[in-house]
């Protein structure tokens, strides 16, 4: 029980630190945009989701690399660490996206009241150009889970394969995808994307992200405590 509580506390404290840090960065960025709008009396559109999604990615990568060996060294098992990390990572996404959308809501109300000329772009606009809090929140949440899933999956691949093998695989797949996009006719893909329901599409992406996360469970059950070196 002590090992379980210690693992949860370790990950939770780290999550709280990342949440506070990137929320502060987002608030400071908001203040800068508002100051520019008020001082220069200009209206423009910008975005705030970059720092929050970056925080999710940073927590996922740093948590697996730094907290994993510490937790095992303090007596936790790999399985217990993974369960705790998955759960707290999900709360990290929920927390960051909720804070982000509360900021968006306040800015939207100020803009509608005519007090603010600055508008903030949200991914939910792909679904509807009219502001819808719940729909926008859901889409941001699913994208947040996608960022989390990709970050955890790629980090686990890095841990298991080592730096050299991971980079070879990563750049190899990147080259194949780049050639596929460059040499293919993307008009059909663009037409398909503009015709689908973005809410359903975002939900599918969120579900796939959890599929990626669960795929890392068997990969990490017997993973080494340190990343393989270049010669491994």
Residues 6+ apart with CB under 8 A from 100: 26, 48, 49, 52, 140
Q: What is the CA radius of gyration of the chain?
A: 20
Q: Higher model confidence: residue 212 or residue 77?
A: 212
> Residue 82: is its pLDDT beyond 70?
yes
User: What are the structure tokens assigned to 78, written together?
Assistant: 């790999």
Residue 85 has pLDDT above 90, yes or no: yes
pLDDT tens for each residue of 161-183: 888 888 888 888 888 888 877 77
CA distance 161 to 77: 21
| Residue for token pair 């080592």 | 162
The model scores a pTM over 0.75: yes
Question: pLDDT tens, 36-58?
Answer: 888 887 788 888 888 999 999 99
Instruction: Name which of 7-21, 104-118, 176-190 the model is least confident about.
Output: 176-190
**Residue found by looking up tokens 């990343």 in the block:** 227
**45: three-class secondary structure by DSSP:** strand
């Amino acid at each position: 029980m002590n090992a379980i509580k210690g693992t949860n506390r370790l990950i939770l404290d780290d999550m709280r630190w990342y949440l506070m840090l990137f929320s502060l960065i987002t608030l400071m960025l908001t203040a800068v945009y508002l100051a520019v709008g008020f001082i220069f009396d200009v209206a423009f559109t910008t975005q705030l989701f970059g720092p929050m999604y970056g925080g999710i990615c940073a927590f996922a990568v740093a948590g697996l690399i730094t907290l994993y060996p510490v937790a095992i060294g303090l007596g936790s098992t790999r399985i217990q660490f993974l369960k705790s990390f998955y759960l707290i990572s999900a709360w990290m996404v929920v927390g960051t996206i909720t804070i982000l959308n509360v900021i968006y809501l306040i800015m939207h109300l100020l803009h509608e009241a005519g007090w603010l000329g600055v508008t903030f772009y949200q991914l939910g606009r792909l679904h509807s150009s009219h502001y819808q809090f719940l729909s926008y929140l859901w889409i941001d949440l699913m994208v947040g889970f996608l960022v989390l899933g990709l970050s955890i999956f790629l980090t686990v691949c890095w841990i298991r394969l080592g730096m050299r093998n991971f980079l070879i695989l990563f750049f190899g797949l990147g080259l194949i995808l780049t050639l596929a996009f460059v040499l293919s006719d993307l008009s059909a893909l663009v037409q398909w994307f503009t015709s689908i329901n973005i809410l359903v599409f975002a939900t599918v992406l969120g579900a796939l992200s959890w599929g990626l996360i669960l795929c890392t469970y068997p990969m990490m059950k017997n993973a080494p405590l340190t990343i393989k070196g270049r010669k491994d």
